[in-house]
Chain A
Amino acid sequence: MAEAVSALNGASYQGFASVREIGPLGMISLRAKPDVPGLSNAVQAAVGLALPEQRRVVQNGARAVGWMSPDEYLIVLPYPEVAAALTAIGAALKGQHHLAVDVSDARAVFRIEGDKAAQVLQKLSPADLAKLEPGELRRTRAAQVAAAFWAEGDGYTLVCFRSVAAYVMGLLTHSAMPGSELA
């Protein structure tokens, strides 16, 4: 099979913060109520991480689990591991009402990095970034499209839908242009 290509094939921009599209990342959308037996085992089996609390993302290197809603989790993992993880989740939750689907190709992921990375998001999202706690995953919008982001390393990781990747890259580029620092 052909090699998997992310939406923008790794586009990047260097402004007062750096912006780059990363991926493709493996992503699984897992729908299940938190009290479903086997849920934490399923997530553990998939990525070796505990279930996150409300609005939190737990991370270990290239693997992460984010709380998306009271019955939805986003599992992030290396792209080639998705099929095995889905199998593991299916086995752990066998007989329990749940839904686990591969959404790796339905998303685009960006890294916004640098001292002033927060300012790039501050221009696009009605979220109070100063109050974004460590390990908090915020679902909101970036200008006119849905987005989710969390602080990670020297900046932020932002996830959006694949079809609007070019739009989001345009937003991030515009917002990171030199001379437009907010402070």
Chain B
Amino acid sequence: MLILECPYCGVKAEETELSPGYEAHLKRFGPGSSDDDFEAYMFARKNPKGVHFERWRHSYGCGKWFLAARCTATLEVFGTYPAQSSEPPADLVAKIKAKRPDWKGFK
């Protein structure tokens, strides 16, 4: 059962104190968007074996959404960061690249 540190309140919360929010950094496509873009926004989700960015809410704690970078195969957690981020912080990306040289990078 996972432990993730909430970047807002600093609590190392266990999974039962959190709610999952699936893939992070989705770009919203609203009215006027193409069918393909809208379909991808709604339904196309990454499912990598390896590095994954995802949303979590500290729902039994401070109530804030945050983002986590995690290896889906080993459950290693590379880091957590605020939801108000349009892409992963550079230092986190560097840390992941150092640990997973084969990782093709975010995007």
B-binding residues in A (CB < 8 A): 54-55, 68-70, 72, 126, 138-141, 146
Answer whether residue B76 sits at the interface, using C-beta atoms and an 8 A cutoff.
no
B9 with A126: CB separation less than 8 A: no
A-binding residues in B (CB < 8 A): 8-11, 14, 16-17, 60-64
Nearest CB to that of B3 among chain A residues?
A126
Known contacts A68-B63, A138-B11; 9 further A-B pairs (Cβ under 8 A)? A54-B9, A55-B10, A69-B8, A72-B62, A126-B14, A126-B17, A140-B60, A141-B16, A141-B60
A54 with B64: CB separation less than 8 A: no
A69 to B9 alpha-carbon distance, docked (Å) = 7
A132 to B61 alpha-carbon distance, docked (Å) = 15
B8 with A70: CB separation less than 8 A: yes
List the B side residues contacting A55 at CB < 8 Å.
Answer: 9-11
The distance from the CB of A3 to the nearest CB of chain B, in whole angstroms, is 33
A141 with B17: CB separation less than 8 A: yes
